[in-house]
């Protein structure tokens, strides 16, 4: 069977029950913050979870479950509204055209959404605040805006009054849920990136990455709508810091990789064996590598920062990861040679529970659209029963947040 019809890369979510994934850990920040071209904005997560619920207080050092995203402080989100239709991100150096009201009628509906080609043309002619160098953001630029203090409302189908807590700071950035009056779902809040998938999904579809700020997921979208015509999206234009999202990896001789763009030091190899989520936290906490014992499990934005979107198993016979790293090889559900999914320390809240954690698939990601003879490739960041996943450790010199 053609490999394009199996699992494909996509950052995914999984429940904290017991699924097999692996781990990369990371540690310290070796570069001064002033020299960094690719500062990763913190997720904004402030609560810890266990395998069943959100906790009132986080585990303390030495307790099982210690080392979650909520317990570490990165670069806090910081925005400035410029009163000219733009917002400056004071961490990344990016400037955003804040409105998603592309037709200028004073309201946001499905009519403001655009196809990929329409968005490219629209932004090429954009002159917000007198600037003419606007661009469609890459998936890494767009994902810089995501915050994990949101709540996923997936499952709401009918009309009504709903309290939405989005995964973006809507005080600064244009945000709207799906236009249910025009037949969309509440969660149809897909924002477009310029990053196209280098292979195909569903066996044949050209696919582009986007971020859904209402359900908190990166997704890969077929550029043609299943209902016919082009798939359409909300649009946020960006300018400035063209180095954002560009890694500068340096291989050290001690089993680590330093990304001079982000300041993060990564474990070169992964955990080799697969672990559940709490096991991944423990693995990184107990890792002794390169003379350091301060490794931790990366949050999902840190983990996504090392994805190489120019690579895929189908096109480069590799994980979507720079070859400076050593990723384990696995045999996937279709019996093919493949690459693992990797845990992050970030949990994901939905209307039902807080039993979810985010992970990134650097190989093919299994979809659930199955028909006789084929398992289609689907790029969806979704909740599934928790698996055992590989682990990669990371180190970063950041303060430990006060225990909650």
- Asked whether residue 404 carries a pLDDT value surpassing 60, the answer given is no
Residue of 174 and 228 predicted with greater confidence:
174
pLDDT of the residue at 306: 97
| Span 258-287, average pLDDT | 93
- What pLDDT sits at residue 11? 39
Does the pLDDT at position 10 exceed 70? no
pLDDT digit string (tens) for 295-345?
999 999 999 999 999 999 999 999 999 999 999 999 887 788 899 889 999
Residues 363-385, mean pLDDT to the nearest whole number:
42
**Which residues are within 8 A (CB) of 24 and not within 5 positions of it... i.e. 6 or more apart?**
266, 267, 270, 271, 298, 303, 306, 325, 342, 390, 391, 392, 393, 394
Question: Residue 1's pLDDT is what?
Answer: 33
Task: Please state the rounded mean pLDDT for residues 44-65.
Answer: 90
Q: Which residue has the higher pLDDT, 403 or 52?
A: 52
**Closest of 8, 2, 6, 5 to residue 365, by C-alpha:** 8
Least confident of 47-51, 123-127, 231-235: 47-51
Give how far Cα 205 sits from Cα of 11, 196, 355, 376, Å: 19, 11, 32, 11
DSSP string, 181-230: GGT--TT--EEEEEEE-SS-BTTTB-EEEEEETTTTEEEEEESB-TTSSB
Per-residue pLDDT reduced to its tens digit, 238-266: 999 999 999 999 999 999 999 999 999 99
CB contact set of 277 (below 8 Å; sequence gap of 6+): 14, 16, 21, 51, 343, 357, 386, 389
Banded model confidence at residue 227, pLDDT cuts 50, 70, 90: confident
With cut-offs at 50, 70 and 90, classify the pLDDT of residue 378.
very low
pLDDT digits (tens, 9 = 90+) for 162-183: 678 999 999 999 999 989 888 8
Least confident of 82-86, 98-102, 133-137, 334-338: 334-338
Tokens of 379: 């790029």
Is the pLDDT assigned to residue 395 strictly greater than 60? Answer: no
Looking at per-residue confidence, does 373 or 191 come out higher? 191
- Cα distance between residue 345 and residue 303, in whole Å: 9
């Amino acid at each position: 069977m053609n490999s394009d019809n199996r699992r494909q890369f996509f950052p995914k979510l999984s429940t904290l029950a017991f699924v097999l994934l692996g781990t990369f850990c990371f540690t310290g920040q070796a570069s001064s913050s002033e020299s960094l071209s690719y500062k990763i904005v913190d997720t904004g997560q402030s609560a810890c979870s266990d395998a069943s619920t959100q906790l009132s207080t986080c585990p303390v050092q030495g307790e099982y479950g210690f080392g979650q995203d909520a317990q570490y402080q990165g670069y806090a989100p910081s925005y400035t509204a410029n009163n000219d239709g733009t917002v400056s991100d004071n961490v990344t150096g990016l400037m955003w055209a804040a409105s998603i009201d592309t037709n200028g009628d004073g309201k946001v509906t499905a009519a403001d959404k655009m196809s990929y080609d329409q968005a490219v043309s629209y932004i090429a002619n954009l002159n917000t605040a007198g600037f003419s160098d606007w661009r469609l953001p890459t998936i890494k630029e767009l994902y810089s805006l995501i915050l994990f203090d949101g709540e996923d409302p997936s499952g709401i189908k009918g009309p009504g009054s709903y309290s939405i807590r989005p995964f973006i700071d809507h005080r600064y950035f244009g945000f709207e849920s799906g236009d249910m009056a025009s037949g969309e779902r509440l969660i149809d809040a897909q924002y477009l990136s310029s990053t196209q998938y280098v292979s195909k999904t569903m066996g044949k579809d050209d696919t582009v990455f986007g971020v859904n700020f209402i359900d908190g997921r990166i997704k890969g979208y077929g550029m043609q709508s299943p209902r016919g015509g082009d798939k359409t999206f909300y649009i946020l234009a960006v300018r400035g810091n063209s180095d954002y999202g560009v890694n500068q990896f340096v291989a050290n001789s001690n089993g680590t990789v330093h990304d001079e763009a982000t300041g993060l030091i990564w474990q070169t190899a992964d955990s080799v064996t697969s672990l559940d989520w709490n096991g991944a936290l423990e693995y990184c906490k107990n890792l002794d590598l390169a003379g350091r014992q301060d490794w931790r499990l990366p949050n999902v934005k840190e983990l996504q920062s090392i994805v190489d979107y120019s690579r895929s198993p189908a096109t480069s016979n590799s994980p979507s990861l720079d070859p400076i790293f050593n990723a384990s090889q696995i045999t996937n559900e279709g019996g093919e040679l493949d690459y693992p999914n990797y845990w992050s320390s970030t949990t994901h809240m939905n209307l039902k529970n807080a039993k979810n954690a985010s992970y990134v698939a650097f190989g093919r990601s299994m979809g659930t659209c199955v028909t006789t003879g084929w398992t289609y490739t689907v790029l969806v960041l979704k909740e599934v029963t928790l698996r055992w996943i590989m682990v990669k450790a990371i180190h970063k010199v950041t303060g430990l947040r006060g225990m909650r």
